Structure 1
Amino acid sequence: MAPKIAIVGAGTAGISCARTLLKHGFDVTIFEARDRIGGRIHESNLFGKPVDLGPNWMHGDTLQNSALAYFKDASVALHDTGSSGTIFAPNGTQYPAEKVDYIEEFMWEYVEEAIEYSKTHSATIDPDLSLYDYVAKVTLDRYPDNPEIREQILMATMIFGFYIGEEVKKQSLKFAFLEEPSPGENLFVASGFTSIIQNMAKDVLDKVDLRLNTAVVGVTTSDSGVIVALTTNQTVAFDAVVVAAPLGVLKKRAITFKPELPPRLLSAVDSLGYGRLEKVYIRFPRQFWNMDYFEFFAPEYASASNPAKWPMSAVSLSHLPEPYNQPVLLWYLYGDMSQKVINMQSDREKIEFFEPYFSRIPSYEPSRDEPEAIVCTSWSKDPCAGYGSYSCYTVGLKEGDVDIEELRQGLPERRLWFAGEHCSDVLQLATVGGAYGSGTHAAKLVIEQFSCKN
């Protein structure tokens, strides 16, 4: 009789895990708390054309990307957002184009240098130092008599928060190497991720026992097998289980493990950071801009709504290829900034929060360009997402790489394994490719375990 395996979560990691297990003849059941598959892969059709509420990007186009074949499928349209962008200074004026190129080149140079420094010196770096601390020190050393360029580089460095889902001042320098991007291009998925997850799930869903609207609240392991407890007060017996739920679900102890997880694994769960990345799409009556992206450094002109002077960043969807283009600006939010916006009570209030920024874009006319609609994610309020989105590596982290490996190894002696973007290989952490690879990795560990028993 084929071993019975339970998978908790029907996101990318869970689907990937099921796909591999099915190929090796396992009997697979997937429990999913939502009424759909995909996890954070989801879309809104409020504008008439879909927009992704979860991931937007293909990170890396080499074989390091475990899900590369799905991104390269004929149904997927990828887009290079280009280098046509502008930056607004703290006083609201635009930097000259040559200054924009200069600032951005320096920003990435210093971020990459910090990552390289982290790779070679991680063992001796103080866990309380941030990536921002590193850039501040290096720029002071190199430009002691030029406070203007130091300030501009540091303001540009703050923009990196949109890539990691948390403020750069909280990004661990010791483990900045865990944020090293996958090699190759980073391309915007213009056609959206829905077709990708559907393609991943093809030939899987009709072969597994998929139980939607069914949350797992407990996992009990013993010598005789694994018992999965559901919110319906039911229990189901399996030979093994793979928990492919988000890191935040584990951090919140939404699933009770009996016996309790070992202290070292619990420490890994608690030590790794969980981001607060949110996205806001604003649709306008027309495209009044002619650039691919806009960045707003430390705005001094929005003191009422943004007293912390959070930087702002927007990407144009009007430059996507047909039929995916639309007059929409996509804004990325992180940390405390994202929490402020998603807790606003009305769409009008949210639009007013962004007005100081989009109104500064050249050719904006208040009488013609009043926003038509807004879509805002709220993963930080979603229990199924673990009240957040995307793993990250914050200051204070002492054994980040070991923590990830603890999750990747799982507990084979208890026939319990984990999968998700938080326990992928290093170059794919916090990506869809990483989630996919982690599911395959967990499945291989299951296969190996049961092969040894036969």
Structure 2
Amino acid sequence: MSDQKEKPSTLASGDMSDPPHICIIGAGISGLRAADVLLQKGYKVTILEARDRIGGRICQSDKLGYTVDIGPNWIASCFLSTSLHATGDKHPIRDLAIETNTSLHHWNNKQNIFTSDGKLLPAEKSAELSTLLWDIIEEAFAYSAKNGKSIPETASLYDFIESTVKEKLPDRLEDQKLILSMSEMWGAYVGHPVTRQSLRFSWMEECCGGDETFIETTYEAILDRIAKLPREKADIRLGSRVMKVVTPTDRFSGAIKVATMKAEVVECDEIICTVPLGCLQEVKERGFYPRLPQKICDAMDNISIGRLEKVYITFPSAFWTVNQEDNFAGYTNWLSPKYAPDTNPECWPQEIWNLAAFSPENRRPTLLFYLYGDCSRHIVKLTFDRSTEERHAALDAFFRPYYSLLPNFSADDENCKPKAILSTEWQMDDLAGYGSYCNFQVGIKDADEDVKTIRHGVPERRLWFAGEHTAPFEELGTAAGAYMSGEAVALRIFDEYLAEKERY
């Protein structure tokens, strides 16, 4: 212990007249949750947010004529959660959704699968193959968790699916091909093709396969609930983009200084950095002084960033549900389509969720496409910096070959012509780290240790990290994970002060 420290901090010693000052970079879900916990404990909190709003990736758009989330839509929980917060019937985001009367949707078990020639598979065949595929993915998670780092770094989740389906269906070559093609839907969970998903660390993606519900409205009420206390008691500074964080080399000598583009300098006792991983990868060399430990820099670079985008297409009415009501499949998948050579020569698969299946008060005549990898890059380049009319025309031309295969479509029917189209562009957003969420691709050696390294932070310099990339393993890459990471780091700071008090 340094002899420069003559007494414990004011909070640890019980003196609440001048509590420790915590600065949080980023007003996303992790930063807001950290602030909430710290404020409840009596700390002084300043939040520096580069955007002109709070929420980070949790945000909405009304460009369709009604409000939709352009960030997360889902509340996912893993197959076998070991988290304190997500065990049994407990799940922080789901619990907040219930508390705020946010409507949740459980999709029906029906799905439409179109072959690469545009033919609809029989419902029985779709159900059989889909069930088998998810069984294999669950086996992959279990295999990954059991064998861990004995699995070659170059092995992908696709490799496991391919070898396993051959064992399970040795004499059904066409069904093998179909399942392998269906497995490409995994890209919409992690933001990259299934062939790039590390088998060694597939167990760290298990949140993608558990009980999933979809928010019928938006995350607005949930965000408002998380932000309630920070809005009341924290000093939230919007439009304050951080340029430099200067920390002492130990826990006892001097204040942390945080410089912003507004020429502000905020002094604080502890700092929590909750910016997205992609942002950290960009600024890790120049944004911190002294320089971050090499181990943390390497860990940040080792983890990949997803390229997930969404396209909402809304129509005058849900033509595909006419005479079918709620029996229409919640999910539709077009496998490696060969029938759109002009707009999709790479045969990127497409998938939608049917928002017309919601409860009557939230039902919308809208199809939600999820895109990833090269396809999402293509769509972003197709639409970026173009007029509304040009974007609409380009997106409709790209997606028409798929929605035109839905029931009751007629090119001459006005109800079958898109009324509005909304596409996301997270890959062009520097404050989102030019992407979506973390994932673990083939070639990564020690993903679990990389996450632990970032999660641990540099507490000896009073520098902490939070965000979906530091979440418990079973909730990495999720809104729940971001929330839990903010809570965890706030409690670690509180425990540090309690331990300091005990030392004195």
Interval containing the TM-score (normalised by the shorter chain): over 0.9
Q: Identify the range of structure 1 (248-257 vs 42-51) with the bigger mean alpha-carbon deviation.
A: 248-257
The answer for the alignment partner of 2:292 in structure 1 is: 261
**CA distance, structure 2, for counterparts of residue 238 and residue 271 of structure 1:** 30
**CA distance, structure 2, for counterparts of residue 304 and residue 133 of structure 1:** 31
Give the alignment of 1:41-440 within 5 angstroms.
41-60=58-77, 62-63=88-89, 65-181=91-207, 185-222=211-248, 223-253=253-283, 256-290=287-321, 291=328, 292-345=330-383, 346-368=391-413, 369-440=416-487
Residue 217 of structure 1 contacts residue 231 of structure 1 at CA under 8 Å; is this kept in 2?
yes
Instruction: Note the C-alpha offset of 1:158.
Output: 0.7
Question: Could you list the per-position Cα deviations for residues 261-284 of structure 1 after superposition, in whole angstroms to 9, with x for gaps in the alignment?
Answer: 111111111111110111100011
Residue aligned with 2:477, SS: coil
Instruction: Output the amino acid matched with 2:114.
Output: F
Instruction: Note the C-alpha offset of 1:452.
Output: 2.8
Residue aligned with 2:99, SS: coil
Residue aligned with 1:325, SS: coil
Structure whose alpha-carbon radius of gyration is higher: 2
- Paired positions, count: 454
Q: Identify the range of structure 1 (218-227 vs 241-250) with the bigger mean alpha-carbon deviation.
A: 218-227
Instruction: Note the C-alpha offset of 1:415.
Output: 0.4
**CA distance, structure 2, for counterparts of residue 67 and residue 87 of structure 1:** 31
Aligned-pair Cα RMSD in Å = 1.5
Instruction: Output the amino acid matched with 2:41.
Output: H
TM-score, normalised on structure 2? 0.88
**CA distance, structure 2, for counterparts of residue 157 and residue 183 of structure 1:** 13
Instruction: Note the C-alpha offset of 1:182.
Output: 7.4
Residue aligned with 1:227, SS: strand
Instruction: Note the C-alpha offset of 1:244.
Output: 0.7
Question: Could you list the per-position Cα deviations for residues 246-298 of structure 1 after superposition, in whole angstroms to 9, with x for gaps in the alignment?
Answer: 11110112761111111111111111111011110001111111322210001
Question: Could you list the per-position Cα deviations for residues 160-193 of structure 1 after superposition, in whole angstroms to 9, with x for gaps in the alignment?
Answer: 1111111111100000000112796311111210
Residue 44 of structure 1 contacts residue 51 of structure 1 at CA under 8 Å; is this kept in 2?
yes
**CA distance, structure 1, for counterparts of residue 29 and residue 229 of structure 2:** 14
Please, which runs of 5 or more residues in structure 2 have no aligned partner?
Answer: 1-17, 78-85, 322-327, 384-390
**CA distance, structure 2, for counterparts of residue 200 and residue 277 of structure 1:** 25
Instruction: Note the C-alpha offset of 1:75.
Output: 2.3
- The match for 2:494 among 444, 447, 451 is 447
Residue 100 of structure 2 contacts residue 222 of structure 2 at CA under 8 Å; is this kept in 1?
no
Residue aligned with 2:192, SS: coil
Question: Could you list the per-position Cα deviations for residues 98-154 of structure 1 after superposition, in whole angstroms to 9, with x for gaps in the alignment?
Answer: 111011111111111111110011121111111001111222344444321210110
Residue 408 of structure 1 contacts residue 418 of structure 1 at CA under 8 Å; is this kept in 2?
yes
Instruction: Note the C-alpha offset of 1:19.
Output: 0.4
Question: Could you list the per-position Cα deviations for residues 72-120 of structure 1 after superposition, in whole angstroms to 9, with x for gaps in the alignment?
Answer: 2142110112112210001001000111101111111111111111001
Aligned residues with identical type, % of pairs: 37
Residue 272 of structure 1 contacts residue 393 of structure 1 at CA under 8 Å; is this kept in 2?
yes
Question: Could you list the per-position Cα deviations for residues 224-261 of structure 1 after superposition, in whole angstroms to 9, with x for gaps in the alignment?
Answer: 12111111132221111000111111011276111111
The answer for the alignment partner of 1:36 in structure 2 is: 53
Residue 42 of structure 1 contacts residue 54 of structure 1 at CA under 8 Å; is this kept in 2?
yes
Residue 60 of structure 2 contacts residue 71 of structure 2 at CA under 8 Å; is this kept in 1?
yes
Residue aligned with 1:405, SS: helix
**CA distance, structure 2, for counterparts of residue 86 and residue 390 of structure 1:** 28
**CA distance, structure 2, for counterparts of residue 66 and residue 321 of structure 1:** 23
Please, which runs of 5 or more residues in structure 1 have no aligned partner?
Answer: none
TM-score, normalised on structure 1? 0.97
Q: Identify the range of structure 1 (183-192 vs 288-297) with the bigger mean alpha-carbon deviation.
A: 183-192
Question: Could you list the per-position Cα deviations for residues 36-83 of structure 1 after superposition, in whole angstroms to 9, with x for gaps in the alignment?
Answer: 111011111122221110000111374563333212214211011211
**CA distance, structure 2, for counterparts of residue 158 and residue 393 of structure 1:** 16
**CA distance, structure 2, for counterparts of residue 203 and residue 221 of structure 1:** 27
Which consecutive aligned stretches of 4+ in structure 1 deviate over 4 angstroms post-superposition?
A: 61-64
Residue aligned with 1:197, SS: helix
